[in-house]
Structure 1
């Protein structure tokens, strides 16, 4: 006899599709409505209210993800602003230049409020949801909201060696697992984005933690890294002056 209808309906894996066993989904999330997309906060099991003390000022989580690079707060991010932001969080000149060029070139047109391309390749923060590409995690929905259960899925499906942490190999395995058919732009964009995330968020042990990845999704990690680098530079300078 097979499973009773109510039992079968609750199953999340089956031997006939081994991948459903290899990549389990979370079945018990002890916070309020994990299935509900959140416009303003990146919510997970450890942070049911979002990032403490982080003022979202009414931006969606996807808008927060890019807003760090809009330092003059005019709602537009030009390539030189992307470059400056990448430098502030520690990327070198060459990687920052190439990344800024690629990011703005890839995302600009989809976010423009008009049909004519802009040779300066601006990204409009208010329309960043239009630049969402395929083969991604699904943590952002098509309007730029944060979907908690999709975020939690990353941490049941892909870490194989450490709980709530990913190695670079596991990150690349994740990007391969997320690929959808006939989407070469999405395949490349996802690997590029997660490679930058790894370089930014990896710990001294070479692992990327769940909390730091969440900080990338809502943009709070960018500010944290900049502050830490500024404080470190200040301390080093003070130490030199005392000698």
Structure 2
């Protein structure tokens, strides 16, 4: 079972520094400066085989939606950067509670939603908080985006694919497979 404080993978069997949520987001900042700009989000989504318009739209929406929560002050910055060290502040309501408010992975909650729900639509419906309209939309959007990049040939989301999304390893895997396919 996954660890709450460490992102464990083949290259790092004892985990790496940073919260698991930071590793989830780290795929998108290619220059490794700890800041994700919309152009980096766009490139990351394109690397995950999303289309041009999907990537442009999602890149803008994601950065505008998350940027304010990660800035230090009250005024958001012009180009909507997302600061990875404060990504835990982007946790929203009506989610699966797989990450806690500090960005730690909660394996029990992850296992719970896989043992309770066979369909992600039912899971997102059941996790809705009252009057949290924005959280409902965000939750559905996140799962739809994950489905678009990680569904299998039969149209299902594998448990390991979802787990890989949470710790970011899925993104590297998809990129590696895409490169291998192109060679």
* TM-score normalized with structure 2 length: 0.95
Match of 1:51 in 2: 9
Alignment of 1:1-243 (within 5 A): 38-41=4-7, 50-54=8-12, 57-159=16-118, 170-234=119-183
Unpaired segments of 5 or more residues in structure 1? 1-30, 42-49, 160-169, 235-243
Shift of 1:39: 1.4
Which segments of structure 1 move beyond 6 Å, counting only runs of 4 or more?
Answer: none
Shift of 1:54: 4.5
User: Secondary structure of 1:208's partner?
Assistant: coil
Cα pair 1:78 1:122 within 8 Å, conserved: yes
Richer in helix (by share):
2
Deviations 1:39-61 (A, max 9, x none): 113xxxxxxxx433247540210
Tell me how large the CA RMSD over aligned residues is.
Answer: 1.4
User: Secondary structure of 1:142's partner?
Assistant: coil
Larger radius of gyration: 1
Cα pair 1:54 1:220 within 8 Å, conserved: no
Unpaired segments of 5 or more residues in structure 2? none
